[in-house]
Structure 1
Amino acid sequence: MKKFVARFFLIQAVFIWSLSLALADPRVNVSKTPAEPDMKAKLNIATCWIDAMDSEGNPVVIKNTNEDGLLVEERNTAKPIVACYAGETANGVHDVFGAVSRDEGQTWHITNLSESADKSSFTHANGTPSYGHCRKPVFQVKGNRIFVVWSSRYAAEGAPRYELEGDPHNMGLNEEEPQNWQREEEAPETLVGQQSVDYTDMGFSAIGEVAYSAVWACRGVIVTKSMTAWLNAGYSAGDIVWFQPERLTSGVRDANQLFAGGAGSAGFALTWQEDPLGLRPGKADGPGHGWGGAITSNATDIWYSYITWADMLKTPSPIPGPGEGRPLVSEQMALPVRISDNVDQNTGGARPNCFLQAYASPTDENPCAKSAWAMIAYTERRTNPLGKQEPMGPASVDEGKNVMYHTFEFTKPLANSEDSDANVRAGNIVNLQRTDADGTPLWLTDWSGNYILDEEGEKMPAYYNCRRPRLIMQGKSAVGGSKTVMLMIYKAGLGDCGHGSDILMRRCVVAGDGNPYKFENFQPGEQNLSSTTVTQMGFAGLRALEWEQTVENLGDNPEDNDLDDARAHRGAIRGDFVAFGYTYTPNLEMSKKGYDTYNFYLRRSFDGGQTWTTDPEGTTAVEHTENFYNACSLDSYQVTTSYGPGVNVFEPARNMSLVTVSEADIANEAVQTVIEPRLVAVPGSITITKPSPDDPCKKEPTGYAEDVQDPNVFYMTWATKYFFTDVEGKAHYSFTRDRGQTLGRWEFDSLSGDLSPDVREAECQIRMTPDGSKFYAAWLEETDSGSDIVFRRILPGEFLSIQPNPPIASIDSPVSDVTINAGAPVDFAGSVTNGTLPLTFGWDFGGGAPSLAVEDPGPVIFETAGTYVVTFKVADSEGLESSASVTVTVASGPVAPVDGDLNGDGEVDGVDGALLMAALGACEGEDGGGYIPEADYGGVEGCIDPVDYGIWRSYYTAVVHE
């Protein structure tokens, strides 16, 4: 061995394709506690890269195999995957668990974050303890930081900020939680600590007395090689550190419906509702089982707290090392404040949403500092001087809720802040005043038809019952020509839970300076995104048999079609493209009896929600299939309609699930309905900060192909439930790479791959890489023996362009195992792309320590027959090492040619497939090269096209099945 060509700067992944056709992406049981029920799993992906390791911290090599059973990627780095869920432990109550995977979901490091299931802070009137039952954890991951929040009936320990004597934020209060924290001018009311509610008087004697819940938060961090202080304390890169949980409230009021928001480099925030009389049971008239917090007592308020990026990981100095217990935080969450103002009102707020959107906020000390805008939406019950009015006609309905909206700089929620954007206590009503068919505004009236006047003597507007607001937003820099920065979407109807409703939408556009999400930026008017027009009625006018959706339906009032119902709205916006999904039934009352069903529908806009058309850049028509109903039976039938292509071609909602109803299903109690739809667009591109003399905040690509956003990709999932038994069915998924024009899975695939009727799936959470090539899902899987949280990683075969993902740079041709003749040189050449950080490289020949080099020493000539292993190692400027090995088999004579063998090693394997995929689309004589004459089997002569791939695949398949 004499010379070695090293024209590349980094080799991280070698294509070694597996010949196995077994399931490429098996399910992984995360919780592994089937005897103890689990629930409410959430899933997020960190945006930092670490050395791949298993749950015990042992180094591993990740082998990503696509759905065809082919190994398309092999590497030793990973982005951590984080899941949080509630799991039953001691005393039959739930703790909150944090699960982190550092090897693409194959193994999980699980930590009990709450550790309160065996603790009690309250004793019931009958003398029994109330244990720390935890509910519904929610969390955010930004960079390598994790922020988890939950509610728990354990309301002791946790060092809440209001107990900190001398803290400048507690307004002189100590050991007592004031009722009105943000009202400094009022004397605080002395309260008696954690309270409870007895549900016996409400008809729930089996539940009895229940202690109020307090709000808890827990911070976590995944140690990286740049965290010098933590490394000096004894931690290793890749370690998962969970801080001790922190309590925010005392249980004086019952906390429920927590929602967490986060913005990278800015901080985290959360909202929740607090009911002074305890969680209300609800009516269970809607799709849920009640007890969700939608029904509230008077004076139920929305509360808010936050922690800045700079304060999040602060811990008493010195940092406690591994084995010394979970570290304490030295900077508590901000003192909670009321966002709403219902203390003295006959109303209550419920189900808040909280989102943060980062923006540059440079300081002299940190030119790259960021802050964030907070956007909060919730529902609030209405009231009027005469109390609740019974529906006496279209103009007198006064039951239900308004959608309220607040926005402010996330560290300035108080009304007495100097920032005018923070004056938010009253909030703004998003939903518009009702009008009649001619557009005339409607006002509240009493039983006699007289106008109801407010305290100022003014008429009071009539509103629809509006609830379940959702915010679909993007950063100001991401908006397109429509300037749409946010969409507010909510349910609206004349009745309350269990009654029909439509999905309405309002647009918010960038205008002027300051907060782009301010209420003044909402555009006039509402759009009705779900309404349809019935074109054929049956069953004595009680059932819609056929219907249509036209552009005129966007202006419908919710009562214009009183048969249908829409719910479970989801959506995403990328530039001017909007994808919006919801579940819909044309016959609400029939669906309540199992004679109709809900399906999942998709709508698309290409101008920021102004219009809903086919893709103006599309070249093919889109086909919609809909289920309609027979006039003389309960059976359904399908009709297919084609739309477009073309500019301004209206496109109605498309039925994606196509769940049908038949008389046989009804007779056998096998009717299914769609529940829990999800529509998630890929996240933004992941970058690294690479300061330059001209730009200290300069961002550059990570070098991983999967970290570059493809805004045309989004994924969808939905599950089913059997109507008559109320038992879950299966979860399904699909995706699109062209903004919904075509689907990668049509019909939708089973998410789990398990078609056994004994396995039930629900509560799916999904995430994906920015390019969409990797799909991650976690869900609740139930069997007769119990329930567990299950995870699956899927690499759809449609993403043929998956390439090696080195940590910082990539090479344009794979380095592969080779078989050569004795005396022949080997050139391991490859050019560098995205090689932005200083790199070193080295090699060894069969077990020796690698020799580092910075120059090209020339080609390697193998003179003696045998097998040699060449190992390449590289480290970036932060010390992140990667390696790859290539086996060189040196024969004593010529190697016989084999069909499909493109690298001359005498075998047809994944290496040859990788070479062919890299050459797809290349033609002879083109700039940039890439054309492989040996792979030009057919199709277009002189070019590598799909025909060539199909012929090569036949050679490969023949080898697989030998």
Structure 2
Amino acid sequence: MRQKILVTALVATMAAPGASWAATGLDFGESVELSANGGANKTKISRLGNGRLLAVFGDYYKNGDGSFNTVYDVKAQAERPARDLFVRTCEATSDCTLESSWSELKNISNTASKSSIATDLNGFSVVDDSDPRNPEPFYGDSEKPNLFAAGSKIVITWVDKFCPSLVEGEPSEQRSVSYLTLDNREVPFACTYAVTSSDAGATWSEPVQLSSGIRDAKQDVNRGLSTGEWAITWQEDPRGLQLGEADGPGDGASGANVSSGTDIWYSRADSFGPDGAIWSDPVRITDNFNGQTASGNFNTIFALTDPDTLEASAPVADENIESGIAGASRANLALQPGYLEGEVAQAIVAYEETKGSGGLDEGKFVRYHTFDWNSPVAWTDQADPGTAPPETAGCIISDPTLNARRVRFVVQGTPGTETNMRMGIFWKEGEFTQGGPSDIMLRKGIVDGNNGFSPAEMVPSVDPNCAVSDYLQALQLNNAPALNMSSRTEDAQATTDADIPTSTLSDDTYVKVEENAIAHRGLLRGDDLYVGYTYTPVLAELLYTNTKNYNFYIRHYDGVAGTWSAPRNLSNITDTTINVREPRLVGTPGSTAGCPADPEECRDVTRFYVAWGTQTNVSEWSLEEPSELDLYAALAEDKGATYTDVVRFAGEADDVEDFESQIQMTPAGNNLYVVWNENRDGGTHAMFRQSTTVEVADDGTDDGTDDGDSTSSSSSSDGTLFGCSYKPGAPFDPTLFLLTALAIGGLTFRKIKARA
């Protein structure tokens, strides 16, 4: 880990040209450590309608004797202690900057002390009898929590390695997979869980297991309404979690790379009783398993053979493993009230899916579904192969000739007064296969005779016949080009709706082939739509020479005026040894029952918060891994016309890595609550901090005290060599510029190959 250097900068150096800075600033209190066992993971936070704060995170489970149960982490490719999920709360009337104000840890998953299957987590040899399989209990291991709250109702979902039988008295269906490239380490499939609270986190139900583990579950999402309608989606891979392919950001094994036959599953609940929600039987809402079976498995899949010892020792034959032509992954979900009279709540689901081209095209489509939340169109494995009804194929909203992935959307219950806008949906799209440059593309959902969520109401429009499964038919779709949010970001200008055809918003993704945009975020409030993303002008230079980096930009669509702002660089980090990552763009929540008596409980739709992390920019040629650095936040006022000073709220100390922030705020936006994960002292810890807004003088200082935290800061500026950045400790090599050219050429080759 590299040593951090604090650099204090003028506010002007953090602002894009023409940016304005507010007369208010953020004043953070002391940090609070929420976790206990040094294994914190994916900390989340919610501010509930009664003002209570609720934090949930994974952490190592410690046995009564102080020991841990060991599992194998496929993503990290390392052994570690098993995790459970824990919650803590802090009351609205308490000082949450004090650790003593937070409730005791509550274990809501309770699986890390249990085992449903025995596998060989250490690995074995398939050619040497002296190194046989040696199954031992693989303990439950709770992956990242996904938290959603509406009114007094809360649902937390996750996937877990503890998957006992769903039917009492019958053996578990859970399977496992041995990874050939990981020394045949054998890891169980995961199943999906949910736990609920109907009293704002005061009490919790027992965990409910929703899937069996016969396929490997991943990427769960849950959403709900205060009136009680709730839904969950997740994906299930019949061949187990697939390893990454070393393309693109991230560590792989995230669920983006899937087997053919991977489907998106859906379950719903409309009853929150004393014992929790009652969930419907899960159904597939995609049509990828079409009755086919697997062939030529690279990794061996095992099934449970001895219910007494829990040993999984029988290899599963290919004809007993589901398959198909395509695979769906990384679904996003929303539930929204019906807009038309008498209409029930609507479910909105979008995901990426391999094209099922038989090897002709390595890219993906972005597909989209919307349906009555309690009537999903389900595809079952009892149907004849190849006879899925057309409506089970999601509408392709991306350019079918390009590679699209990472779809996200923002929705609202009431359409914009002037625009009838109810949704913004956006994704990454480009000419290249996985890991190559791409732009952020967007369509709006405008109420036009329906609820604003139907494919027919998307602007720019999509082909009315967009719900097709066949690859060759998909290529014939006549989708209007989506708006290009990120093309030529450094040169793009503000534009009106009328001038879009001559602006960068109409650029093809190949206009500036070398640029790249990732980590897209959105916010929709009435007639105002905001899209943020991180951007680099030359991806190859970032990857191979570190002479370019990622910064966080935002664009604002003012629907009343019919104008798009120019991209604004909010992070403005000029040190190319540092990247912006994991940006956040979060608007104020709805007014609570405390409004209007307490003005802080009344929503101010003109305010929102932005936050981001920083990370060392390490060359693809380096043997070092990137280090997490600092976390920053700012408050946007007047719909983003002004911003407070950018404040570093985590990362002051050397030898500490801070990352994965999550933010919440009060409806008026004067109080901000942040959680994050922090690496130090040999472990990872869940941290909390809160800020209030204060008036600041013209010189950027606050109105009374200066604790060093409310000063606008840039990231470390060490490691610069005459404008050409390099990884500290690695010698500068002039041949890197040649490698940049070769890298661009290589990416172009991948494009030609992908579209041949």
Q: Same fold (TM over 0.5)?
A: yes
Q: Distance in 2 between matches of 1:361 and 1:763?
A: 39
Q: Which of 412, 429, 437 does residue 474 from structure 1 map onto?
A: 412
Q: Which of 193, 198, 202 does residue 178 from structure 2 map onto?
A: 198
* 1:388 to 2:359 alignment: yes
Change (3 A) 1:24 1:258: closer
Asked if 1 retains the 8 angstrom alpha-carbon contact of 2:677 and 2:685, the reply is yes
Deviations, residues 125-179 of structure 1 (Å, cap 9, x unaligned)? 522111111111101111222101000010027xx5xx48xxxxxxxxx959xxx
Q: CA deviation at 1:550?
A: 6.8
Asked if 1 retains the 8 angstrom alpha-carbon contact of 2:286 and 2:379, the reply is no
Asked if 2 retains the 8 angstrom alpha-carbon contact of 1:153 and 1:213, the reply is yes
Counterpart mapping for 1:302-341 below 5 A: 302-308=264-270, 311-312=271-272, 314-315=273-274, 328-329=275-276, 332-341=278-287
Q: Which residue of 1 aligns with 2:515?
A: 564
Q: Which of 447, 468, 478 does residue 510 from structure 1 map onto?
A: 447
Q: CA deviation at 1:687?
A: 3.9
Q: Distance in 1 between matches of 2:337 and 2:690?
A: 30
Q: Which residue of 2 aligns with 1:861?
A: none
Q: Secondary structure at the match of 1:383?
A: coil
Q: Which residue of 2 aligns with 1:112?
A: 107
* 1:736 to 2:653 alignment: no
Q: CA deviation at 1:261?
A: 0.9
Q: Secondary structure at the match of 1:789?
A: strand
Q: Which residue of 1 aligns with 2:649?
A: 751
Change (3 A) 1:796 1:117: same
Asked if 1 retains the 8 angstrom alpha-carbon contact of 2:117 and 2:138, the reply is yes
Counterpart mapping for 1:127-146 below 5 A: 127-146=135-154
Q: CA deviation at 1:549?
A: 5.0
Q: Distance in 2 between matches of 1:339 and 1:265?
A: 24
Q: Which residue of 2 aligns with 1:3?
A: none
Q: Distance in 2 between matches of 1:412 and 1:744?
A: 46
Deviations, residues 344-397 of structure 1 (Å, cap 9, x unaligned)? 23110000101111248999xxxxxx952111010010023xx212xxxxxxxx
* 1:493 to 2:425 alignment: no
Q: Which of 190, 203, 206 does residue 241 from structure 1 map onto?
A: 203
Gaps of 5+ in 2: 1-25, 62-67, 70-80, 120-132, 291-323, 381-388, 462-479, 496-502, 619-624, 705-756
Q: Which residue of 1 aligns with 2:396?
A: 429
Q: Which residue of 2 aligns with 1:942?
A: none
Change (3 A) 1:361 1:718: same
Change (3 A) 1:708 1:599: same
Counterpart mapping for 1:917-936 below 5 A: none
* 1:530 to 2:444 alignment: no
Q: Which residue of 2 aligns with 1:711?
A: 605
Asked if 2 retains the 8 angstrom alpha-carbon contact of 1:578 and 1:608, the reply is no
Q: Distance in 2 between matches of 1:768 and 1:23?
A: 14
Q: For residue 677 of structure 1, what is the amino acid of its counterpart?
A: P
Q: Which of 584, 588, 593 does residue 539 from structure 2 map onto?
A: 588
Asked if 2 retains the 8 angstrom alpha-carbon contact of 1:579 and 1:605, the reply is yes
Relative contact order, higher structure (CA 8 A, sep 6+): 2
Deviations, residues 265-287 of structure 1 (Å, cap 9, x unaligned)? 13221110000000100113211
Q: Which residue of 2 aligns with 1:777?
A: 674
Q: Secondary structure at the match of 2:348?
A: strand
Q: Which residue of 2 aligns with 1:723?
A: 617
Q: Which of 661, 664, 670 does residue 575 from structure 2 map onto?
A: 661
* 1:83 to 2:62 alignment: no
Q: CA deviation at 1:399?
A: 2.0
Q: Secondary structure at the match of 1:589?
A: helix
Asked if 2 retains the 8 angstrom alpha-carbon contact of 1:531 and 1:549, the reply is no
Q: Distance in 2 between matches of 1:580 and 1:362?
A: 31
Change (3 A) 1:510 1:490: same
Q: For residue 131 of structure 1, what is the amino acid of its counterpart?
A: Y
Q: Secondary structure at the match of 1:136?
A: coil
Q: For residue 118 of structure 1, what is the amino acid of its counterpart?
A: S
* 1:792 to 2:689 alignment: yes
Q: CA deviation at 1:431?
A: 1.0
Q: CA deviation at 1:104?
A: 5.4
Q: Which residue of 1 aligns with 2:33?
A: 29
Change (3 A) 1:521 1:362: closer
Q: Distance in 1 between matches of 2:670 and 2:446?
A: 31
Asked if 2 retains the 8 angstrom alpha-carbon contact of 1:573 and 1:608, the reply is no
Q: Which residue of 2 aligns with 1:267?
A: 229
Q: Distance in 1 between matches of 2:82 and 2:421?
A: 45
Q: For residue 283 of structure 2, what is the amino acid of its counterpart?
A: V
Q: Which residue of 2 aligns with 1:404?
A: 367
Q: CA deviation at 1:785?
A: 2.9
Q: Which residue of 1 aligns with 2:736?
A: none
Change (3 A) 1:411 1:657: same
The sequence identity of aligned pairs, in percent, is: 33
Q: Under a length normalisation based on structure 1, what TM-score does the superposition of the two structures give?
A: 0.56
Asked if 1 retains the 8 angstrom alpha-carbon contact of 2:148 and 2:154, the reply is yes
Asked if 1 retains the 8 angstrom alpha-carbon contact of 2:233 and 2:265, the reply is yes
Q: Distance in 2 between matches of 1:402 and 1:43?
A: 32
Q: Distance in 2 between matches of 1:529 and 1:23?
A: 33
Q: CA deviation at 1:612?
A: 0.6
Q: CA deviation at 1:595?
A: 2.1
Q: CA deviation at 1:496?
A: 2.0
Q: Which residue of 2 aligns with 1:681?
A: 587
Q: Which residue of 2 aligns with 1:597?
A: 549
Q: Secondary structure at the match of 1:42?
A: strand
Counterpart mapping for 1:682-697 below 5 A: 682-687=588-593
Q: Secondary structure at the match of 2:510?
A: helix
Q: Under a length normalisation based on structure 2, what TM-score does the superposition of the two structures give?
A: 0.71
Change (3 A) 1:484 1:23: closer
Deviations, residues 871-907 of structure 1 (Å, cap 9, x unaligned)? xxxxxxxxxxxxxxxxxxxxxxxxxxxxxxxxxxxxx
Q: Distance in 2 between matches of 1:45 and 1:720?
A: 26
Q: Distance in 1 between matches of 2:159 and 2:458?
A: 33
Q: For residue 190 of structure 2, what is the amino acid of its counterpart?
A: S
Q: Which residue of 2 aligns with 1:444?
A: none
Change (3 A) 1:424 1:789: farther
Q: Which residue of 1 aligns with 2:472?
A: none
Q: Secondary structure at the match of 1:266?
A: coil
User: How many aligned residue pairs are there?
Assistant: 565
Counterpart mapping for 1:159-238 below 5 A: 160=166, 163=167, 193-199=173-179, 201=180, 203-205=181-183, 208-222=185-199
Q: Distance in 2 between matches of 1:788 and 1:608?
A: 45
Change (3 A) 1:786 1:609: farther
- Structure that is richer in strand per residue: 2
Q: Which residue of 2 aligns with 1:101?
A: 90
Q: Which of 516, 527, 536 does residue 576 from structure 1 map onto?
A: 527
Q: Distance in 2 between matches of 1:362 and 1:500?
A: 44
Q: Distance in 2 between matches of 1:248 and 1:118?
A: 20
Gaps of 5+ in 1: 1-21, 49-78, 165-173, 177-191, 224-238, 316-327, 364-369, 390-397, 434-462, 534-545, 614-651, 663-670, 689-700, 801-945, 948-952, 955-962
Between structure 1 and structure 2, the one with the greater Rg is 1
* 1:555 to 2:506 alignment: yes
Q: Distance in 1 between matches of 2:429 and 2:326?
A: 19
Q: Secondary structure at the match of 2:541?
A: helix
Asked if 1 retains the 8 angstrom alpha-carbon contact of 2:36 and 2:59, the reply is no
Q: Which of 357, 366, 379 does residue 352 from structure 2 map onto?
A: 379
Q: Distance in 2 between matches of 1:518 and 1:741?
A: 32
Asked if 2 retains the 8 angstrom alpha-carbon contact of 1:264 and 1:358, the reply is no
Q: Distance in 2 between matches of 1:609 and 1:279?
A: 47
Change (3 A) 1:516 1:42: same
Q: CA deviation at 1:559?
A: 1.3
Aligned-residue Cα RMSD (Å) equals: 2.7
Q: Secondary structure at the match of 1:467?
A: strand
Q: Secondary structure at the match of 1:279?
A: coil
Q: Which residue of 2 aligns with 1:123?
A: 118
Q: Distance in 2 between matches of 1:506 and 1:373?
A: 19
Asked if 2 retains the 8 angstrom alpha-carbon contact of 1:215 and 1:249, the reply is yes
